[in-house]
């Protein structure tokens, strides 16, 4: 199916979509003095304790993060420090190169006006294999109860006893736009 045919089908359905890449620092190029990637932090949730072991290596122009010894009851989670504007009805399309064992997950935390935290949206999981694979997950943006979403941050992590290698993390915001009459 050609791009023009897809555009015609979307227009015929009465909805238009636009997409923009988000600046999430997912190349992990800048490191903090601790060695952890700049613009990211380990989530302090009690279920993610103890923190996993972490190291990174630059390989073929990409920084690869490695998380091991994941013993938290809920595994571990990493959160972005870079919020982006979004609203219910949008979706975030995440791609990354991953490998390891067990399962990794990708999710969103949402915020209301005034940067007031709303909550965590359901995450999407991927099964990890021994070789790097490029994964793609779609995360729908929603309001949480009566809390209107105006921004979000990307999160990722892995389950207890998993091992995760991740690189080249990217995210794209797909906005649903109603056609103007």
Of 53, 65, 54, nearest in space to 29 by CA: 65
- Give buried/exposed letters for 36-62 (b at 16+ CB in 10 A, else e): bbeebebbeeeebeeebebebeeeeee
pLDDT digits (tens, 9 = 90+) for 128-155: 999 999 999 999 999 999 999 999 999 9
Q: Check pLDDT > 80 for residue 15.
A: no
State how many domains the chain has: 1
pLDDT of residue 2: 42
Whether 124 is covered by a domain: the verdict is yes
Whether 106 is covered by a domain: the verdict is yes
Host domain of residue 152: 16-177
CATH of the domain at 32: 2.60.120.260
pLDDT digits (tens, 9 = 90+) for 163-181: 999 999 999 999 976 666 5
By percentage, how much of the chain surpasses pLDDT 90? 83
Instruction: Find out whether 171 and 137 touch, Cβ atoms under 8 Å.
Output: no
Give the global pTM: 0.87
Q: What is the mean pLDDT of residues 72-79?
A: 98
Whether 61 is covered by a domain: the verdict is yes
Whether 9 is covered by a domain: the verdict is no
């Amino acid at each position: 199916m050609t791009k023009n045919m897809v555009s015609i089908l979307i227009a015929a359905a009465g909805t238009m979509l636009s997409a923009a890449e988000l600046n999430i620092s997912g190349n992990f190029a800048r490191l903090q003095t601790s060695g952890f990637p700049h613009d990211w932090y380990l989530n302090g949730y009690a279920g993610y304790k103890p923190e996993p072991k972490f190291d990174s290596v630059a390989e073929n122009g990409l920084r690869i993060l490695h998380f091991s010894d994941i013993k938290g009851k809920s595994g571990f989670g990493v959160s972005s420090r870079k919020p982006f504007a979004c609203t219910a009805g949008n979706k975030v399309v995440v791609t990354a190169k991953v490998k390891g064992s067990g399962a990794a997950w990708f999710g969103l935390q949402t915020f209301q006006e005034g940067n007031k935290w709303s909550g965590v949206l359901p995450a999407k999981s991927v099964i990890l294999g021994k070789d790097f694979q490029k994964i793609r997950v779609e995360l729908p943006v929603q309001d949480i109860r009566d809390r209107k979403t105006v921004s979000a941050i990307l999160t990722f992590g892995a389950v207890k006893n998993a091992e995760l290698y991740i690189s080249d993390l990217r995210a794209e915001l797909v906005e649903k736009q109603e056609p103007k009459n």
